[in-house]
Structure 1
Amino acid sequence: MSNHDNVSMIKSLIKDFISNNEYSFLFICGDSGSGKTMAIQEFIKEQKSSDVDYVIVYSHAPIVGGNREIYQSFLSALTGCFDRKRSELEIIKLLEHILQDIVDNGRLPIVVLDDAQYLRHSKRMPVMNTLKQITETTRVKFIFTSTEELIPLLPSSVARKSMEYFLQGA
């Protein structure tokens, strides 16, 4: 499958995921250079030029740092600011509040974490459990791209609410 085919397939998959209320998490896995990031960026660009009922927040997984930095990357993408003074719990609560405000204004928040393979294995479980809790209180969708399969490494409660797509090599 060509890179162009992968990009088209991913964009179609994202649209299906957004309209499906059964799933809260989408994992797009494939080799480096297979078109994951390009598809996400094209999808975001297309949505900015159309009248849609959702807000897309793009963030790149932090290569270093702890769970706080992961939540801070989402918050920074949403607000455009970085606050080193807030605790991890304060950041999570603020993130939930902002996401709920988006929902209250009639829009669906979609949070993208690109290159999720950079999340250390020890951090994935607590982060995914926290994001699952957010999906239980706020209607939000999370999209992750990764060069490695993530679902087997996730809590089963998250895996049940997840879709996963493996890209064919370019």
Structure 2
Amino acid sequence: MQKTSLYLLGGLLLLLVLLMLNISLGSVTIPLKDILASFFNAEVEKETWRYIILDYRLPKAITAVLVGSGLALSGLLMQTLFRNPLAGPYVLGLSSGASLGVAIVILGGAVFGGVFSTLFLSKFTLVIAASLGSILVLLAVLATSFRVKDTMALLIIGLMFASLTSAVVSVLSYFSPS
């Protein structure tokens, strides 16, 4: 118990140091004392530093910590569910489903051309297409998981969905106009 607490304390201390380093470094290097002063609303050497820290660097750093924690937790849950240390998003075909959604949108934009091409190929459209593709594959795997109770069989079914969606992406790319 003592050793685990020491590792946890060391990890949190390392996270705090790296967080401060992340906020400090960039195109404008900001000293640590000014970072801490901006957190406690004290006087900062340059007022633009407070703006840079509180409006740009701190939200990005907190988002990075939260996303990294979420990815670690989801990986742990997937590895625990399948009792396999190699389990990841590729195992259930979620990544292949995301690539299928993007391939459909990109090729749909190429087929329709003109105005539809600029509409289909925006950043947000590709993100939404990737999300919808992976959600649809997840729903298909979940639908089969109600009938199949064995985790190994579910793992194989997920790999089959991954192979199927990868094959569809390959066929789409083969028949693409460019």
Q: Same fold (TM over 0.5)?
A: no
TM-score, normalisation: structure 1? 0.23
More helix by share: 2
> Which structure has the higher relative contact order (CA within 8 Å, separation 6+)?
1
Structure of larger gyration radius: 2
TM-score, normalisation: structure 2? 0.22
More strand by share: 1
